[in-house]
Amino acid sequence: MIKVILDVPSKEAALFAMRYLQNHNLSHKELVSNLEYIGRYMDAENLTQPIEFIQKKFSDDLDGQYALFNTMQQGLRQRGVN
């Protein structure tokens, strides 16, 4: 189901993807595509959710956090936010 959600360009779908991410263990590839999608479509007031998720889940991996934050930033750039 999550693969289909990533084809839906909406903030509601991004929130669904975020909840899915919080409740399932995804492969690194799936995690990256979900975070890029979330960065692209999630509304600004909810962007703290993926940031807190990354900080908590990868608290002992600063390089991993940096890479995932960059992935989210790519999504933000795709929607025109720098």
Q: What is the DSSP string of 4-60?
A: HHTT--SHHHHHHHHHHHHHS---HHHHHHHHHHHHHHS-GGGTHHHHHHHHHHTTT
What span, in angstroms and rounded, lies between the C-alpha atoms of 74 and 80?
10
Could you report the per-residue pLDDT of 42-52, keeping only the tens digit for each? 999 999 999 99
Domain ranges of the chain: 2-78
What are 33-44's pLDDT values in tens digits?
999 999 999 999
Q: Phi and psi for 77 in degrees, rounded to 5?
A: -65, -35
| This prediction's pTM | 0.89
**How far is 48 from 36, CA to CA, in rounded Å?**
14
What stretches in the chain show pLDDT beneath 70? Answer: 1, 82
